[in-house]
Amino acid sequence: MPEGDSELQDLYREVLLDYFRSGAHKGKLDHADFKSHGINPVCGDEIELTMRSKGDKIDAVRYAGHGCVISQASSAMLAEAVEGKSLARAKELVQSFKDMMLSKAPLESLPEDLEALKSLEGVRRFPTRVKCATLAWNTLAQGLARQAGTSADFQEVE
């Protein structure tokens, strides 16, 4: 491992733990106009996203469920990243994150809105853990597609 990599991995581990422990976006929204539920059948992680929008803007996002540090931290990062964004921008962010995780797009290709998600880069080496990291993002994509009357395009981990 090159010098500095272990320090970077330690930093990323701390970022994940901070998001995992944070209660900033945990829970369910009353009077939500969006609700989507996702399960990772491989490990049993489960997430429910609730969202409230004003016009085309996402006003608030909350997540509830259970799972590993990776799935719960990724859920918190998703909520932070899409809150205040337009629905179209949220869809773009979902695709950018999934490209990084599933197609191994370079970290530099992630938009600034997803800076914290670089901490999940190391997960890409473990296909079963990629499903944990993408659970909330797939759940959001599925819910947005359902709301629009279309279907979500899911990529499988290779």
**Per-residue model confidence as pLDDT tens for the chain (158 residues):** 444 566 546 655 777 778 888 888 999 999 999 999 999 998 899 999 999 999 899 999 999 999 999 999 999 999 999 999 999 999 999 999 999 999 888 888 889 989 888 888 888 888 889 999 999 999 999 988 887 776 655 444 44
Buried b (16+ CB within 10 A) or exposed e, 30-51: eebebebebebeebebbbbbbb
Q: What is the CATH number of domain 5-148?
A: 3.90.1010.10
Domain layout of the chain by residue ranges: 5-148
Residue in the structure block whose two tokens are 């337009």: 86
Q: Where are the beta strands (DSSP E) in the chain?
A: 34-39, 46-54, 57-66
Q: How far apart are CA 98 and CA 92, in angstroms?
A: 10
User: Does this model's pTM top 0.75?
Assistant: yes
Answer whether 52's CB lies under 8 Å from 29's CB: yes
